[in-house]
Amino acid sequence: MKKIVYLGWLILFLPAILYAQEKVEAPVWNLGDKWVFTGESSIEVINADQNSYALKFSNGICIVERQGYNTIIFGKPTMNRIHFTEAGKRKKYVMGLSKILDFPLSIGKEWKSAYSTSVGIGHVSYRDYSEIFKVLAWDDLEVPAGKFKVLRLEYKLVLTGQSPLLGAILGQEFKNHYWYSPAVKYFVKCEYDKSWMREDKEVFSWELTSFELKK
Beta bridge partners of 123: none
| Nearest residue to 189 (alpha-carbon basis) of 68, 22, 35 | 35
Q: What are phi and psi of 17, to 5 degrees?
A: -65, -45
| Nearest residue to 119 (alpha-carbon basis) of 168, 154, 65, 71 | 168
SS3 16: helix
Contacts of 69 (CB under 8 A, 6+ apart): 57, 84, 85, 86, 93, 95
Does the predicted TM-score (pTM) go above 0.75? yes
Mean pLDDT of 200-209: 78
Q: What are phi and psi of 63, to 5 degrees?
A: -60, -25
- Contact call for residues 43 and 70 (beta carbons, < 8 A): no
Q: Which residue has the higher pLDDT, 86 or 62?
A: 86
Flag the least confident range among 119-128, 153-162, 182-191: 119-128
Mean pLDDT of 169-178: 90
Half-sphere exposure of 12 (CA within 13 A, CB side): 6
Q: What are phi and psi of 172, to 5 degrees?
A: -65, 135
Give the pLDDT confidence score for residue 18 in this predicted structure: 41
Q: Which CA distances in Å does 143 have to 3, 147, 149, 179?
A: 41, 6, 11, 11
Over residues 6-52, the pLDDT tens digits come to 444 444 443 444 455 689 999 999 999 999 999 878 999 999 999 99
Flag the least confident range among 97-101, 123-127, 197-201: 197-201
Q: Which residue has the higher pLDDT, 120 or 147?
A: 147
Q: 196 pLDDT exceeds 80?
A: no
| pLDDT tier for residue 63 given thresholds of 50, 70 and 90 | confident
Q: Please, what is the end-to-end C-alpha distance for the chain in angstroms?
A: 52
Contacts of 200 (CB under 8 A, 6+ apart): 63
Q: Where are the domains of the chain?
A: 24-212
Q: Which CA distances in Å does 26 have to 13, 66, 103, 105?
A: 27, 21, 5, 8
Q: Could you tell me what percent of the chain has a pLDDT over 90?
A: 63
The answer regarding whether domain 24-212 maps to CATH 2.40.360 reads: yes
| pLDDT tier for residue 120 given thresholds of 50, 70 and 90 | low
Q: Which residue has the higher pLDDT, 145 or 18?
A: 145
10 Å CB burial of residue 54 (0-12, 13-18, 19+) is buried
- The DSSP 8-state label assigned to residue 197 in this structure reads S
Over residues 66-83, the pLDDT tens digits come to 888 999 999 999 999 999
